[in-house]
Structure 1
Amino acid sequence: MTTTSSMLPSYNHHSTHQSPFSSAFKSSVHRTSVLTRSSNAQDPSSNGSLLVKDKPSFPGKPEADVIVIGSGIGGLCCAGLLARYQQDVIVLESHDLPGGAAHSFDIKGYKFDSGPSLFSGLQSRGPQANPLAQVLDALGESLPCVNYDSWMVYVPEGEFLSHIGPTQFFKDLEKYAGHKAVQEWKKLLDTILPLSSAAMALPPLSIRGDLGVISTAAARYAPSLLKSFVQMGPRGAFGATKLLRPFSEIVDSLELKDPFVRNWVDLLAFLLAGVKSNGILSAEMVTMAFLSCRDLL
């Protein structure tokens, strides 16, 4: 797994270069790709009235095939792929720096990311690769990644070095959250890890939470899904139907009550997708759990 460092002290693994994702999209295949900052701000005059400034002029053509609003990861991926296929693209950004939650900034010599991020599969290739890795591969670009097997965790209950995999984490749970938390975490893993074969049968790019999944996943990958359902048996196959539902539904169905466990699940969901467990698909969380534990399965 790979990660970028975050402003949260819990996960300061390593620093990233400023705007790492935006720099990777400066591909030579672009016909036209202009990043501009648009502002309609008006400055007050000495008598209190507003002075309307002239419209700012931007370099490049006065028109484009596509205008992308926002230079976060999604906007940059969209613009990069459009430019890859010979479209004239303009990206509009209101912030001082491109990159969205992926950009970084310096304060008194320390480098911070604007948001916490957890990435896996950035160095992989093929259907199971991280969607961002697939976009970068299509653009002929790459990002420097650092593999790690542990991270420092700072929580109200204490601080500890958390290693990838369940064995050491069970010990940390026992120490900082108690035996009940260990039991609930094991109950969660015992429920979701058997679903990993179905989750891994779907490439990340095909997973979505609306009816469009019928075209992106169900139809195209039906054979591999059916194979995984047969391997899991009736009970497992029924559980796999929850993969395209919010992960919080699995947590709630197991009646997990321990605050540490529920907060930890929400934190992992936020690192993956910027939302709590009620906003992330179960397939994403199941895949992450499998990748974290696969060396020990």
Structure 2
Amino acid sequence: LEYSCFAKQSLYIATCLSLPVYTHTCHMLHFQQKALATRCPGTRAGRRSAIAVKCKAAVADAKPTQPRSPLTGEARSHETDVVVVGSGIGGLCCAGMLAKYGLKVTVVESHSIPGGAAHSWVRDGFHFESGPSLFSGLASQGKEANPLSHVLSALGVQLDLVRYDSWNVVVPEGNFLTRIGNDNFSEVLSKIRGPAAVAEWTRLQQVMRPLARAAALMPPAAFRYDPGVLVTAIGRYLPALLAAGGDAARLSGPFSSVLDGSGVSDPFIRNWLDLLAFLLSGLPADGTIAAEMAYMFNEWYRPNCFLEFPRGGAQAVVNGLVDGLQRHGGRLLLSSHVERVLLDARGRATGVALRGGGTVKARKAVVSNASSWDTLKLLPPERVPPAWRSGLSSTPACPSFMHLHLGFDAAGLDPSLELHHIIVNSWQGGVTAPQNVVLISIPSVKDPSMAPAGHHCLHAYLPATEPYELWKGLDRRSPEYKALKEERSQVLWEGIEKVIPDIRSRTRLSLLGTPLTHERFLRRHRGTYGPAIQAGKGLFPGPGTPIPGLYCCGDSTFPGIGVPAVAASGAIAANSLVPVWQHWALLDEIGV
């Protein structure tokens, strides 16, 4: 559950332009997010696994997501224009956009199911999600739309969406149902904090309105990592950017500075906004850029807004992207683990070598959707520039996750049971403290087909607060590992019991995931959520690398962590590989 971030800074443009207003504005533009999504690990699918396909594509004869007889060994060898390593949302967005632009593209994925941290699997009729669970803006249009929506629109993909507007919150002050799109939070504040807190909140909303407008001026779809950005971004949007200069400057710093400047001192409001910032970016308010929170205010605290659940869950989004890729001539190779990126004698990336035999040669580029740390592992150490290696290796990493997936009997439960629940055990120590915040999603309350009749499926997790060091080096088959799983999962059970008190007796199937699960099956360095880059203290790199022909996208790349951000990163990488005129025409086509 993470209203994922867009941004820390536009590296290339800030360098190209000496306009102070743009230097500030480019920080904010990357946060045009309209979707909440937590990227979390899942459990490996067994032989009975299947994909929850609930996606309506614009073309009825879309190719299947998983070929019945996938190619193996040398039979996978071929030549293409671009090969994309990894089928996470960032990689699929990049590949789909490149295919839309007319390039030949192949995506190679190690897992048997596409989606990376957004994939789902089925066990005994229960559909379990590994990551994103809370979305909005998937059907939006125009400049302010979610970047993922821009990609779906470009590929001609439509999703079957269920709209809703509420979730359940359990905090030390009590339990409450919060709704977006109205003054519900003011009512909550009135009950638990009083009129002074309501006045502070009202004042903050007034401060945030112009900031929210400024944060929505330029779509990430307009960005590219070459001088052509002066045409596709500046050429299209400069007048609006200049007009918002003062507000843009305020958006470039940490959100805590906005709170301080607005006189927000109520402890509950500060704790609540720390929580929201943490769920968006993995960092509290002092590490989350103000632009991200401004866009969140625009989405959650204005009239007539809503959340969206894609029928079939996050896998439906993934399958829609795969369908769009394939309809435009792209290929997806599953169960195809990349052993290494191939470099020619001049040091240029020319393709990938696959485990078990086979190579995919790339005439134009290789794009890695792996994390920066995992991308380094694919390159010959002696061919990597030392300064680049040192910079990536020293990037701080967010912690990992604990997961509990349950299939349980729903008999007698309130039919109005919420899809999402946030549990905060204590404000002391902050929202980033281990074993403190528990997030719960029950997707079958919106899509009953995701569980057997009379049952629900549930995913509870600790959102990027589980220390990898506790698990490092443990044998997953050892009694020590099993005991630690049992110990560290109790906070998840206890969190669920605050929503469903008799959950243990109702449970028919339970699966536990740890940082080692995340590391192994999602192939994530130390099971991390992504880089822990704080607002004002560091920058996400652009898609280019010192290796000619090698590009990157995903949560280690600008704009950063989260579904909208990685979708934007994939689009930016794709835009950077095509002529400006093609990029401009696409912006016209999707109406931005």
**TM-score if structure 2 supplies the norm length?**
0.36
Q: Corresponding residue for 1:222?
A: 238
Match status 1:62 vs 2:70: no
Alignment of 1:136-285 (within 5 A): 136-176=152-192, 181-206=197-222, 217-227=233-243, 229=244, 237-254=245-262, 256-273=264-281, 276-278=284-286, 280-285=288-293
More relative contact order in 1 or in 2 (CA 8 Å, sep 6+)?
A: 2
Q: Corresponding residue for 1:72?
A: 88
1:138 maps to amino acid: A
Q: Secondary structure at the match of 2:176?
A: strand
1:263–1:226 distance in 2 versus 1, CA, 3 Å: same
Q: Corresponding residue for 1:11?
A: none
| Alpha-carbon distance in 1 for matches of 2:172, 2:123 | 25
| Alpha-carbon distance in 2 for matches of 1:25, 1:179 | 50
Q: How many Å apart are 1:112 and its aligned residue? A: 4.3
Query: For structure 1, which segment, 115-124 or 145-154, has the greater mean C-alpha deviation from structure 2 after superposition?
Result: 115-124
Counterpart contact for 1:2–1:148, Cα < 8 Å: no
Q: How many Å apart are 1:157 and its aligned residue? A: 3.1
- Residue 295 of structure 2, aligned match among 280, 287, 293: 287
Q: How many Å apart are 1:270 and its aligned residue? A: 4.7
Counterpart contact for 2:113–2:119, Cα < 8 Å: yes
Q: How many Å apart are 1:123 and its aligned residue? A: 1.1
Match status 1:124 vs 2:140: yes
Q: Corresponding residue for 1:38?
A: none
Spell out, residue by residue over 1:236-283, the C-alpha distance to the aligned partner (whole angstroms, 9 max, x if none).
x52331224343432344464545433432443455455544555433
Q: Secondary structure at the match of 1:65?
A: strand
1:283–1:29 distance in 2 versus 1, CA, 3 Å: farther
| Alpha-carbon distance in 2 for matches of 1:137, 1:198 | 24
| Alpha-carbon distance in 2 for matches of 1:95, 1:188 | 45
Alignment of 1:34-113 (within 5 A): 57=73, 60-95=76-111, 97-106=113-122, 111-113=127-129
Q: Corresponding residue for 1:44?
A: none
2:151 maps to amino acid: V
What is the percentage of aligned positions where both structures have the same residue? 47
Q: Secondary structure at the match of 2:183?
A: helix
Higher helix share: 1
Counterpart contact for 1:73–1:100, Cα < 8 Å: yes
| Alpha-carbon distance in 1 for matches of 2:82, 2:261 | 45
Structure 1: gaps spanning 5 or more residues: 8-16, 36-55, 230-236
1:67–1:140 distance in 2 versus 1, CA, 3 Å: same
| Alpha-carbon distance in 2 for matches of 1:200, 1:82 | 25
Q: How many Å apart are 1:205 and its aligned residue? A: 3.4
Q: Secondary structure at the match of 1:147?
A: strand
Q: Secondary structure at the match of 1:187?
A: helix
**TM-score if structure 1 supplies the norm length?**
0.65
Q: How many Å apart are 1:136 and its aligned residue? A: 1.0
Counterpart contact for 2:85–2:107, Cα < 8 Å: yes
Query: For structure 1, which segment, 145-154 or 129-138, has the greater mean C-alpha deviation from structure 2 after superposition?
Result: 145-154
Counterpart contact for 1:157–1:177, Cα < 8 Å: no
- Residue 114 of structure 1, aligned match among 103, 107, 130: 130
Q: How many Å apart are 1:107 and its aligned residue? A: 6.3
Q: CA RMSD in A?
A: 4.2
Counterpart contact for 1:69–1:91, Cα < 8 Å: yes
Structure 2: gaps spanning 5 or more residues: 1-33, 41-50, 305-592
| Alpha-carbon distance in 2 for matches of 1:272, 1:124 | 19
Query: For structure 1, which segment, 188-197 or 113-122, has the greater mean C-alpha deviation from structure 2 after superposition?
Result: 113-122
